[in-house]
Structure 1
């Protein structure tokens, strides 16, 4: 499981976020201010240093955290490919806002001097992404090491655990707040999963990001979920032999999400090589 074809093809939001994390972390690291960038109840609500709200989202406190965090963000680009950049933008914004508010409330409630400044970085987005990762990405392979059984998802969980405990309580609180934010998104609180940005906002990130080299054609954005009747209609729709056979890149994208290769190919055939629609078909088949 590697999140699909290499690079940031069809994932402009993720690409922008990862590049911003590298730039902010390096910039403030050179200035020696990395340890002072985390969210602080006193700084935000009492001293009104609102710039920290933005900086704390992108700048990691240390190089090891940047490495593990960037790796997880890069892997989780699979969700942007799955739901489209527009809806993924809503997920990103919701995760960041909700997790940041929870962190500030947690600091005020706990009143612990050791938590005056939490660790910085996009912990809210990263750990929100573990919620759909747990529920929506199936295990494709399992293997044993001595008496222990691992799956292809184990390495992602281990990287997340390393990041979660990197600064002990200072990183544990942001991580737990991110998981809670992801859970709220999943249960569709305030119907957030139906929200979409105007197209020009989502496409702004595509223009802002560096262009990808090669890779498959862009995904159809925000393809509506197929109903049972639409799926059945796709099964029976006459198609030419050339249109029936999906590309290897499209199959690889679905296989990287954890779906069986043969099922992925058949879903692409029925969805006429639309990856978003094929993903909906596969997810619906698993839920029945």
Structure 2
């Protein structure tokens, strides 16, 4: 998986989430104490809820989850840290509410504890990933045509089914939260950060690519993938055109 320029440059919110997930998972998860930190709504305790939103319950979940969070930092670079923080809060809160509704509807005693971790944010991020991130590479494996996006989907499926129904419910809740955000429910997407010189630079980069014959939407996607490097973005767009021709 490739999320553009390596590291967390211009993605402080993503870095904070990944660090929190790693610290809480190691502190509470890998010592066998995380079973008590699932979303046990009958005995809701705020500190347990907060920790459960970040701490994965196993090493494989942490590996796949952290890798996906790292990849999805591209969205923070695309919309800015302030708006991405709004996305984090919205997707997390809405996902938790949807999980509560699901547990209340199912009334299954075996689902008293759902798997913990930032599932809401991770799976909400698959909505803009599906709609906004273009395929930059296609190839064949054992006769099957796959793309660079396929590996991101496979990592998500591994995480979604890692704990059976206990992880499927948080995952699906995250996807629904992402769809609600994209539909601009409650006008959430109108919340914006302050204007800065970076935004002017972004518009200049977009204008440069548009002048080269690329459409604005594709130019924005390519710039987000390359941390707004015009040269790298133009290479991605040219490669995409070559694959489609």
TM-score norm. by structure 2 comes to 0.82
1:164 pairs with one of 127, 145, 160: 160
Displacement of 1:34 in angstroms is 1.4
Q: Distance in 1 between matches of 2:185 and 2:143?
A: 41
Gaps of 5+ in 1: 200-217, 236-248, 265-288
Indicate whether 1:220 and 2:198 are aligned.
yes
Q: Paired residue for 1:26?
A: 26
1:253 pairs with one of 190, 204, 227: 227
Indicate whether 1:43 and 2:17 are aligned.
no
Whether the 8 Å CA contact 1:84–1:219 is kept in 2: the answer is: no
Find the structure with the greater CA-based Rg.
1
Could you give the per-residue CA deviations for residues 39-85 of structure 1, whole angstroms, max 9, x where no partner exists? 122122xxxx1222211111001111000000000000000000000
Could you give the per-residue CA deviations for residues 257-281 of structure 1, whole angstroms, max 9, x where no partner exists? x9652758xxxxxxxxxxxxxxxxx
Q: Paired residue for 2:13?
A: 13
* Secondary structure class of the residue paired with 1:10: coil
Q: Paired residue for 1:120?
A: 116
Q: Distance in 2 between matches of 1:40 and 1:198?
A: 39
Whether the 8 Å CA contact 2:3–2:225 is kept in 1: the answer is: no
Q: Paired residue for 1:183?
A: 179
Whether the 8 Å CA contact 1:28–1:34 is kept in 2: the answer is: yes
Q: Distance in 2 between matches of 1:261 and 1:148?
A: 26
Q: Paired residue for 2:68?
A: 72
Q: CA RMSD in A?
A: 3.0
Whether the 8 Å CA contact 1:140–1:260 is kept in 2: the answer is: no
Displacement of 1:196 in angstroms is 3.5
Could you give the per-residue CA deviations for residues 127-156 of structure 1, whole angstroms, max 9, x where no partner exists? 000000000001111111122111000000
Q: Distance in 1 between matches of 2:225 and 2:89?
A: 30
Q: Distance in 1 between matches of 2:2 and 2:82?
A: 22
TM-score norm. by structure 1 comes to 0.70
Whether the 8 Å CA contact 1:84–1:220 is kept in 2: the answer is: no
Cα separation, partners in 2 of 1:143 and 1:254, compared to 1, 3 Å? farther
